[in-house]
Amino acid sequence: MGWRQGPSQVGTNHPLLKSAKNLLIGSKSNLQSVGLIILLLSKAAGFNAKDYTSNHYDSGVLHAQRALAEIVEMKRTGHMIHKTMANLQEKEKIGDKFKDLLYGNKIVLLTGDYLLATCLQQLGGLRNNAVTELISTGLRDLVEGDFLGDHDKENNPLPTQPKGTESSSPYDWESENNLSKLGSNEFLGQGKEEWKLRTMLTSGSLLAKGCQGAMKLAHRGEQVERDAYILGGHMALIWQLYLDVKDFFTHPYSYSLVGAPVLFAIWEYPSVYGHILEAKLERKQFLEYKQLYYAVRSTRAMDYLSKFLDQELETILKYSDKFPVEDARTALQKMATTIHTEAIQYIE
């Protein structure tokens, strides 16, 4: 039929390959698995063994909780794959490179759709309407996070121009009705609050709701469900802080413009936003990342990040202490401590 062999059809430049590498290899601390966090928290919370037979659980975790952890991981992976779509709008529509990118996009769509459809099917198999609603709203939040605020021509998110106020209203995500819309646009342009909203939408909500859903499956009660939701959310926040700091220091020419270092610096010194505004107004194809990098480093953003990391770790240790099973609880605390330590090492 004249088709070339598999890998060459995707091409070495397609974003899918980089994403696949990150998913397969992971990071130094194995921080990639949201499913692992849900499993550890499920074991840390325990359940009343009198309510279940030995066919319902294994190694201190209900089979339904294990299935939910896999569903959340699959949903997150499918969404990540969808986000690797290559923008072909500005590409020359001739030649092998364009064909490779086009073929790669087809694989992205099919693979992402398959994973999302499979996880939704398995979610229905849990036969728990409350958990289904909870996890479905997590997917809603993921999608909303993708469209929050401004974006460049390649659909990469851009920070919002800082508002002309010295103080910002805090984004209290812990007290929200998490089945409703999370946050609001009023937090855009408010540095740390904008970052928290973006993080809760793009990763925190799904992980936190996965933890809460695991407690629902074990019938642990509303208070334990809420504690699990808050703990899962803070695990996502400290994890994203680590990823943002690592990205900023290891990729000074291509870091995220909505990462914590940039958003924190812009909030303290709005003049830093001028580097981004200039590129937008003059319609430059490339932002001067290196200049922005040094501008961010000249602020006190790293000091604020260090304090924020300390606060997140303290909160995680506080909430994890509420869960009774020691070995799983200790594993969660060690994971959070490792994330905190590695992030601080990059900053220092």
112: Cβ contacts below 8 Å, ≥ 6 apart: 78, 79, 81, 82
Provide φ and ψ at 291, rounded to 5°. Answer: -65, -45
Condensed to tens digits (0 to 9), the pLDDT of residues 31-49 reads 458 999 999 999 999 998 8
Tens of pLDDT, residues 287-344: 789 999 999 999 999 999 999 999 999 999 999 999 999 999 999 999 999 999 999 9
Query: How many other C-beta atoms lie within 10 A of the C-beta of residue 321?
Result: 10
Tokens linked to 164: 């002309």
Domain residues of the chain, as ranges? 12-167+174-347
Alpha carbon distance 277, 189 (integer Å)? 13
CB 331 within 8 A of CB 40: yes
CA–CA dist 320, 330 (Å, integer): 9
d(CA 329, CA 338): 14
b/e map 192-201, b = 16+ CB within 10 Å: bbbbbbbbbb
Report the SS3 class of residue 289. Answer: helix
The reported pLDDT for the residue numbered 28 is 42
Q: What is the domain class of 12-167+174-347 according to CATH?
A: mainly alpha
Rounded Cα distance between 10 and 105, Å, is 8
What is the model's pLDDT at position 31? 42
- Distance between CA 112 and CA 77 in Å, rounded? 8
The pTM is what? 0.88
β-strands 150-151, 157-158 pairing = antiparallel
Q: List pLDDT tens digits, range 174-215.
A: 999 999 999 999 999 999 999 999 999 999 999 999 999 999
Q: What is the pLDDT of residues 217-275, one digit of tens each?
A: 999 999 999 999 999 999 999 999 999 999 999 998 889 999 999 999 999 999 999 88
Residue 5 pLDDT: 39
Highest mean predicted confidence (pLDDT) among 120-124, 205-209, 280-284: 205-209
Strands (DSSP E) contained in 28-119 are 57-58, 61-62
C-alpha dist (Å) from residue 226 to 138, 174, 209, 211? 15, 9, 10, 9
Q: How far apart are CA 190 and CA 162, in angstroms?
A: 6
Query: One-letter amino acid identity for 244?
Result: D
Closest CA to 165 of 190, 192, 198, 194: 190
pLDDT given for residue 66 in this prediction = 95
232, 206 contact by CB (below 8 A)? no
